[in-house]
Amino acid sequence: MKLISYNVNGIRAALRKGFLDWLKASDADVVALQEVKSTLDQISPAMFEDLGYNVYWHAAGKKGYSGVATLSRITPKKVHYGIGKELFDMEGRVLRLDFDEFAFINTYFPSGTTGEIRQTIKYEFLDDIYELSKDLKEAVPGIIWSGDYNICHKAIDIHDPVSNKKSSGFLPEERAWMDKFTSSGFTDTFRLIHPEIPHQYTWWSYRANSRSKNKGWRIDYHMATENLRERVKDSKILSDIVHSDHCPILLEMD
């Protein structure tokens, strides 16, 4: 099984850059998209359905903002839109598909880069997600929790940990949450396969030629519960794919 997560930073813009051809070539079973920035009526879902995908879309209430979508060739038993909290559900941040052997959760975590108010909202979201994760581990057989977490966990995950130590996305409180989340039973599948490889990033600023210089951040993850750990075959960052300021990440499982 091949699972992909990709913050496309606007699906309509990505489509103009050849996203659909890449999606077809990827031959993925499940694709989680973040920051789609569109409602389903603004694109044609038939383009995805023609590739064999069921299309599940959770748009933000605000036009051109946030939103997640999951494309799946495997029909889920049930689909859950949001987490039951209006503040976050109106921003289209969480979409869960329940399959027989695990739940696949596509999430776009808030950014705190615009100031204190959004950083506070981000911390509230982190608290809610942690509590939800505890409940879900009791309710479903396993979890793959994928998406843009908007947090670099460790110094190896960011190009300059010293100058960014006070930047949202690498704050001590955010990194401590990642410690808590992974300690509670979630495995960072990329570090499971590649524990010590440096300079592996999934997002680069559009400024100062950051991508060409590989001055990036690893903020996109496939997290898996411990009971799925042995099924992980490979976890890759597809940094040569360019439709966005992020790149896709791939998880292969037995």
Which residues form the catalytic set?
Answer: 148
What are the CA-CA distances from residue 120 to residues 123, 125, 126, 168, 209 (Å)? 5, 9, 10, 11, 30
**Crossing angle of the two packed helices 172-183 and 116-139, in degrees rounded to 10:** 0
Q: b vs e for 29-52, b when ≥16 Cβ sit within 10 Å of the residue's Cβ?
A: bbbbbbbbbbeeeebebeebeebe
Count the alpha carbons within 13 Å of 81 in the hemisphere toward its beta carbon.
14
Element (DSSP H or E) covering residue 71: strand 68-72
Tokens for 25, please give them. Answer: 């070539």
User: Do 57 and 40 meet the contact criterion of CB atoms below 8 Å apart?
Assistant: yes
